[in-house]
A and B are shown apart, each in its own frame.
Chain A
Amino acid sequence: MLRPMPRMPSRLNRTEMSVRDKIWQINWSLIAVLSAIAGIGFATLYSAAQGSLEPWAAKQMVRFAIGIGIMISVAMVDLRFWLRNAYILYAVAMVLLVAVEAKGTVGMGAQRWIDIGFIQLQPSEIMKIALILSLSRYFHGASFQEIGRPLFLIPPLIMVFAPAALVLKQPDLGTAMMLVMSSGALFFMAGVRLWKFVLVIAGGLGAVPVAWQFLREYQKKRVLIFLNPEDDPLGAGYHITQSKIALGSGGMFGKGYMMGTQSRLNFLPEKQTDFIFTMFAEEWGMMGGLVLLGLYALLLAFGYAIAMRCRSQFGRLVAHGITTTFFLYFFINTAMVMGLVPVVGVPLPLISYGGTAMLSLLFGWGLVMSAYIHRDVPISRRGMSDD
């Protein structure tokens, strides 16, 4: 080292950290915000079951506890381990995606699950993490000059569109969109020029008529109904119309906990999963909704703060990528139930009932936390410490 690092705290300026150091670094306020959001989820699931822990709230609590355990474990693992194994994880996720395509269980009209005995695995959820990790690794080792070369961008684009195409074929429009959008954010953060995005988006828009041909009938219908929900208030537009009625009737302060008439009387479909925000906002009103949005925004702020403080490009990209994915989750979900975007199957993160999304999200936040713990660890392009 020719130059001393001026702002580097002494204890963490080490390539190797002891477990004690790491535990000392755990960001408890991040966990507190996550728990607060999950707590809102438990309460809402309790209410969705007409004031009962069964069948949803209790299971969700167990999952959250396991998820927090996984998250802390992931955070303990050295960030360089994730860098080294990013491509392997991506390969595994691809194999699983293909496996689902080959012999997946059909659920809810879409092939999304793979049954590996004790748990039903959703490879697309793993892919969300694996894609962020491998893209981060790819751009971690890239210089400005390299990023400026169009050919250099071909491999990461393939890395994005191969799984996105597979997921779209399942068909899971929401997840495919999320993969593409969170990757786009990563490309942007890695320093890809803006005009290239303009070019790709223009190309994408040009491809819309072509893509339309490949959409399933129900997906086309959803888009059309989004454009005009009143066309079919009792058929496919029912979801969104009822969701708006429930939300709107909640008013400023809501109908009160466990008093949401529309959701309790089952006018609201899927109230424990994709439409749980509607139920929450019916019972707690706009004030409750804003509090929840505030908590999510706080979580995003944590993610950004961690990303900014990371010394390694890999850590920055991972922290930002996970944060963006998380943002996409809650933005798409809430915008959907409020009729701002078409109905796509994206859960409300940490609140909707469901195991895979909860575990993969907390796994992701584990990575963010790992980036925080290892924020001052310099990482070479190959993933070794920069010595």
Chain B
Amino acid sequence: MAGMYHDNDRSKMFSRRALILAGGKATLIGALAARMYYLQVMEADKYTVLAEDNRISTRLLAPPRGLILDRNGIAMAVNQHNYRVMLVAERSPSLDYTLDALARIIAIGDGERARIHKEARRRRSFVPISVRENLTWEEVARVEVNAADLPGIIIDVGQSRHYPLESLGAHILGYVSAVSENELTEDPLEELPGFRIGKGGVERIYDMALRGRHGTSSVEVNAVGRVIRELERKEGEPGADLNLTLDVKLQEYAAQRLGEESAAVVVMDIHTGDVIVMASTPSFDPNSFNRGLTGDEWKDLSTNPRSPLSNKAIAGQFAPGSTFKLMTALAALEGRDITPEMRVFCSGHMQLGSIKFHCWKKEGHGAQDLISGIKNSCDVYFYEIARRTGYEKIAEMAKRFGLGAPTGVDLPNERPGLIPDKAWKKKILKQGWYPGETLVNAIGQGYVTATPIQLATMVARLANGGFAVVPHVARDQIADKTVRPRSNPVWPNMEVSRQSLTLVRRGMFAVSNEPGGTAYKARITQEGMWLSGKTGSAQVRRITMREREGGVKKNDQLPWKERDHALFVAYAPEENPRYSIAVVVEHGGGGSVVAAPIARDILVEVQKRDLARIAENAPGAAPDLRRF
């Protein structure tokens, strides 16, 4: 009975204490609810932002790079689908199983296998590993057909730059390659893995226009970074297509004609400045840069004495030799220091003070006036008129015609050449100007150097009536990312008298069209295509007195490095000039026998194409070569 009372007491105490504990629990549950309110209502905005940061990752979309086309719409640089076989390790039962299956369809080397295994260990299992790149279409088809038996294999399409003409025009095109640290700009595209920018040539000069604008893609990613789906996509702008003034058919002909020589040729329109041909040999295949050069290939390219990587048309600085006499003649005429009829007697040399200056023709030319002086390229005639004119005026005239400074052609790494003067000599060589140097430089020897494009520009300015035409390779006017048609050029008049120009051109006519002219053998006989030119053979070594007594060595007796540079400059057609040309064959020998025939053949080809174009009368729509 006591137990019963006892139990009632216990029951009361139990109830009392249960209420206390229940109250405690209710308080704690209230705390949970309060915490929930704090996190999910008060702090919700903050956590929503954090959640979106977690989840959304923005990726850049690379726009297709603009194409590069020649003046007739022939593709010189295109984007190629790069079909790659990729392997996603997590979808494959085992790497070797999948690779064995794949090896029955396309070739996979043991080295490849080792690399794939290594990469698979290093990367997360959902990241595709490249098995093989640059598959042929046939290989792609075979892999796709067998897709069911190839777990984890996917075909991925990337883009790579391709130069279908290979080495043709390589120097003008340049190439593309990965961005290096010091080339970084603000363009977010550069952050894309595998993004390539133009390095060299028009790829570099017009890189911004060719690149286009990036697009963006917002993707949802999970905790390990795998893309789940795309949320939003903003397409970028493809790069602008670039039309060049080059004619690849002529370019091809010119390159063939130059052959194995270390040489350069520039053909330009004397009125517009369009560069129609610019070839530099030997050349290289820009695709190899994209593919990646082997050590040996790089060594071959970089140590080859004929420097295939350099664009000699704009970066090769050669003594212009006798082609420079055109400037000397002009300067003398313009300064009224001579008359065209004035005669100079050439005995084979000229004495200035104690030094004897030789003519290239040991036995002498006899009496020479302006026309015959140019026609025969008589050194003594030019020594004499240079002496009368003075070096200053000659240098001034050369500079007016574009020598001694970059022409401003739209290509990187153009070199200035050199028109020396007294100040230059004082500064660089710490010496005064000797009178004899006037004579030597007046015939394009000594310190004077010029690039082939400068020589072509010089002739163009002579032939177009004295207007300071500037060469260019892009058909359109391009600034940063904007492309607009080039306005009709109005070149500044260089204020050279018509008479003087006509006289010099008359001399050039004689060189290649009158019997006895230094380039008579290289004349054009087709009616209406005649060329007028000037030869040059630039000596690159010093001829000693002793050698002169024993007979000057012929070029083919000399090692390559000591042979003369062969030069030829010309314009055509003679009646109504339109094209100028400069040919330089490094250590090629005589200008008249080596360079002039090349120039003639190219000029004939250029004018034939010209006629063909007129006959067609319609350029025809360029095929759409853009590939995505």
Contact = CB atoms under 8 A, between A and B. Distances in A.
Given A293-B29, A293-B33, A340-B35, A251 B44 contact: yes
A290 B26 CA distance: 13
Contact of A308 (B13, B15, B32, B54): B15
Interface stretch (A70-78, A201-209, A219-227, A261-269): A261-269
Interface in B480-522: none
Contact of B36 (A144, A264, A289, A316): A289
A253 to B, nearest CB: 9
A126 B438 CA distance: 113
B232 interface: no
A71 B554 CA distance: 116
Contacts of B21: 185, 188-189, 320, 324
B40 A300 contact: no
Contact of B55 (A188, A261, A289, A334): A261
A304 B22 CA distance: 8
Interface in A297-350: 297, 300, 304, 307-308, 311, 313, 316, 320, 324, 327, 331, 334-335, 338-340
A338 B34 CA distance: 11
Given A2-B1, A3-B1, A245 B51 contact: yes
A248 interface: yes
Interface stretch (B103-111, B222-230, B460-468): B222-230
Interface in A257-278: 261-262, 264-267
Contacts of A25: none
A239 to B, nearest CB: 12
B76 to A, nearest CB: 46
B45 to A, nearest CB: 9
Given A188-B21, A248-B46, A265 B10 contact: no
Contacts of A281: 36, 40
A331 B222 contact: no
B223 A266 contact: yes
A242 B55 CA distance: 12
Interface residues of A, number: 49
A308 B223 CA distance: 49
Given A248-B40, A266-B223, A281-B36, A261 B51 contact: yes
B48 A249 contact: yes
B291 interface: no
Contacts of B1: 2-3
A250 interface: yes
B316 to A, nearest CB: 58
A316 B220 contact: no
A interface, by DSSP: helix, strand, loop or mixed?
Answer: helix
Nearest to B37: A286
B47 A247 contact: yes
A318 to B, nearest CB: 12
A53 B594 CA distance: 86
Contacts of A311: 7, 11
A278 to B, nearest CB: 10
Contacts of B223: 265-267
Interface string B242-267: 00000000000000000000000000
Q: How large is the interface on B (under 10, 10 to 19, 20 to 34, 35 or more residues)?
A: 35 or more
Interface string B122-148: 000000000000000000000000000
Contact of A188 (B17, B48, B52): B17
B224 A245 contact: no
Interface string B15-26: 101100110011
A261 B220 contact: yes
B33 A265 contact: no
Contact of B54 (A267, A297, A313, A327): A267
A230 interface: no
Contacts of A358: none
Nearest to B15: A308
B50 interface: yes
Most A Cβ at <10 Å: residue of B6, B13, B54 = B54
Contact of B44 (A252, A308, A340): A252
B6 A252 contact: no
B41 interface: yes
A59 interface: no
Nearest to A261: B55
A7 to B, nearest CB: 12
Interface string A183-202: 00100110100000000000
A320 B228 CA distance: 48
A244 B42 CA distance: 13
Contacts of B289: none
A79 B242 CA distance: 93
A246 B222 CA distance: 13
Given A191-B13, A313-B7, A286 B36 contact: yes
A286 B40 contact: yes
Contact of B18 (A3, A264, A296, A320): A320
B39 A300 contact: no
A144 B9 CA distance: 9
A386 interface: yes
B42 to A, nearest CB: 9
B40 A285 contact: yes
B18 A189 contact: yes
A338 B36 CA distance: 8
A143 interface: yes
B228 A327 contact: no
A252 B40 contact: yes
Interface in B268-287: none
A139 B32 CA distance: 32
Given A265-B228, A267-B223, A250 B40 contact: yes
Contacts of B32: 293, 331, 334-335, 338, 340
A286 B228 CA distance: 27
Given A144-B9, A281-B40, A300 B222 contact: no
A386 B17 CA distance: 25
B91 to A, nearest CB: 18
Nearest to B32: A334
A285 B6 CA distance: 50
Given A247-B40, A290-B33, A340-B35, A313 B55 contact: no
Nearest to A313: B10
Nearest to A296: B29
Interface string A153-189: 0000000000000000000000000000000010011
Nearest to A378: B7
Contact of A300 (B3, B22, B31, B48): B22
Contacts of B355: none
Nearest to A5: B4
B43 interface: yes
A334 B9 CA distance: 37
A290 B36 contact: yes
A313 B41 CA distance: 44
B40 A251 contact: yes
A265 B54 contact: yes
Contacts of A3: 1, 4
Nearest to B50: A245
B40 A265 contact: no
Interface of A: 2-3, 143-144, 185, 188-189, 191, 242, 244-252, 261-262, 264-267, 281, 285-286, 289-290, 293, 296-297, 300, 304, 307-308, 311, 313, 316, 320, 324, 327, 331, 334-335, 338-340, 386
Q: Which 10 A-B pairs have the closest CB atoms?
A: A248-B47, A249-B51, A265-B222, A286-B40, A266-B223, A251-B44, A267-B223, A249-B47, A249-B48, A248-B39
26 contacts: A3-B4, A191-B13, A242-B54, A246-B51, A248-B39, A248-B44, A248-B51, A249-B51, A251-B48, A265-B220, A265-B221, A265-B222, A265-B228, A266-B222, A267-B54, A286-B37, A293-B36, A297-B29, A308-B18, A331-B28, A331-B29, A331-B32, A335-B31, A338-B35, A338-B36, A340-B35
Given A308-B15, A338-B32, 13 more contacts: A246-B47, A261-B220, A265-B54, A265-B55, A267-B55, A281-B36, A307-B14, A308-B14, A308-B18, A313-B7, A324-B25, A331-B28, A335-B32
